[in-house]
């Protein structure tokens, strides 16, 4: 039986090959047939999740509630020392030095990464900026968020910190971070659905031992991870409750 694996579409394009390398390594290490399917947008991925086609997913925090509480997914592992943080960024020439310096009516560029967009909007609240005061500039990637800022199409950009860090030095020189989130409890994680749940212990043990082999270490490096740690049920539920609180 082939299991279907996917990754939240908010990953950096630079890591596309890394996920295929990881999937190949995981199949060989576990002896399981796993097909990796990558999506360019959240809507098409969620349609396949709703249809029950996904068995394993590297999920963002916003989707965790649907996956765990409605689709019966359970946590396996999450990257070690890697939390999801948002960065609010302006063009380098902007007069704003603090969030409070921004006007209420601003053009905000962001991707459709729901939890990063949500965290960014929370960070803009000290300037009395809300969903009813902004002009949204929708972008498909963080590169395009940066481009919108640099070409004057947006006044503020919201980045996943990892997406900000992946930008080239030349691009970052044209931009300036105003504030970076410090929640440190919101994290992506690897979840498995009911068909693959019986292999949960095998998968966790395999992932924890990745740094012990040259090929495993290489696969981690291609993802930009230092390793994995267990993602316990209690931690998954706590993160879901935290996300619900932040959204409320």
* Structure confidence at residue 209 (pLDDT): 95
Burial class of residue 141 in the structure, from the number of CB atoms within 10 Å of its CB (0-12 exposed, 13-18 middle, 19+ buried): middle
Last residue of a domain, one of 138, 164, 180: 180
78 and 90: one domain? no
List, in sequence order, every beta strand (DSSP E) within the chain: 2-7, 33-38, 56-59, 74-79, 86-91, 107-110, 135-138, 156-160, 175-180, 189-192, 228-230
Residues 56, 100, single domain; the answer is no
What's the rounded Cα separation, in Å, for the pair 3 and 192? 10
Phi, psi at 209, each rounded to 5°: -95, 5
CATH number at residue 158: 3.40.190.10
* Final residue in a domain of this structure, among 180, 195, 228: 180
The residue among 108, 97, 102 whose CA lies nearest residue 132 is 108
| Angle made by CA atoms 169, 181, 41, in degrees to the nearest 5 | 70
Closest CA to 191 of 161, 233, 136: 233
3-state secondary structure 153-211: CCCEEEEEHHHHHCCCHHHHHCEEEEEECCCCCCCCEEEECCCCHHHHHHHHHHHHCHH
Residue with tokens 């230092």, as numbered in its chain: 226
Q: How far apart are alpha carbons 57 and 194 in whole angstroms?
A: 12
Residues 90 and 168 in one domain: yes
The pLDDT value given to residue 186: 72
Task: Based on the fold, state whether residues 75 and 195 are members of the same structural domain.
Answer: yes
Confidence (pLDDT) at 244: 72
Its domain, for residue 29, covers 2-82+185-247
Calpha distance 203→76 (Å, rounded): 7
- Residue 207: CB atoms within 10 A of its CB come to 26
Length of the chain: 248
Q: What is the pLDDT of residues 144-156, one digit of tens each?
A: 999 999 999 999 9
Instruction: Provide the pLDDT for residue 195.
Output: 95
Q: 86: which residues sit within 8 A by CB, 6+ positions away?
A: 116, 119, 120, 123, 158, 159, 160, 161, 180, 181
DSSP class of residue 39? -
Residues 149 and 194 in one domain: no
Answer yes or no: do 65 and 105 share one domain.
Answer: no
Spatial CA neighbour of 6 closest among 30, 35, 32, 43: 35
- What total number of domains does the chain contain? 2
Is residue 164 domain-shared with residue 93, that is, in the same domain? yes
Low-confidence ranges of the chain (pLDDT < 70): 182-185, 245-248
Closest CA to 8 of 228, 160, 219, 234: 160
3 state SS of 145: helix
Q: Are residues 175 and 215 located together in one domain of the fold?
A: no
What is the C-alpha separation between 198 and 58, in angstroms, rounded? 18
């Amino acid at each position: 039986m082939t299991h279907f694996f996917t990754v939240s579409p908010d990953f950096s394009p630079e890591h596309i090959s890394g996920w295929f390398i990881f999937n190949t390594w995981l199949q060989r290490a576990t002896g399981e047939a796993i097909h990796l399917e990558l999506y360019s947008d959240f809507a098409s991925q969620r349609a396949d999740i709703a249809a029950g086609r996904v068995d394993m997913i590297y999920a963002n925090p916003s989707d965790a509630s649907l996956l765990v509480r409605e689709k019966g997914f359970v946590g396996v592992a999450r990257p070690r020392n890697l939390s999801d943080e948002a960065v609010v960024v302006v063009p380098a020439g902007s007069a704003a030095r603090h969030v409070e310096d921004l006007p209420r009516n601003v053009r905000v560029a962001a991707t459709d990464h729901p939890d990063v967009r949500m965290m960014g909007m929370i960070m803009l609240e000290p300037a009395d900026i809300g969903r009813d005061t902004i002009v949204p500039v929708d972008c498909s990637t963080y590169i395009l968020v940066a481009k919108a800022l640099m070409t004057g199409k947006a006044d503020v950009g919201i980045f996943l910190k990892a997406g900000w860090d992946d930008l080239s030095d030349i691009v970052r020189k044209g931009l300036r971070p105003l504030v970076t989130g410090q929640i440190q409890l919101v994290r992506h994680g690897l979840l498995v659905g009911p068909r693959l749940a019986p292999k949960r212990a095998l998968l966790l043990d395999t992932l924890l031992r990745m740094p012990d082999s040259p090929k495993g270490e290489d696969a981690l490096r291609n993802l930009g991870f230092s390793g994995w740690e267990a993602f316990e049920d209690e931690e998954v539920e706590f993160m879901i409750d935290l996300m619900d609180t932040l959204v409320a």
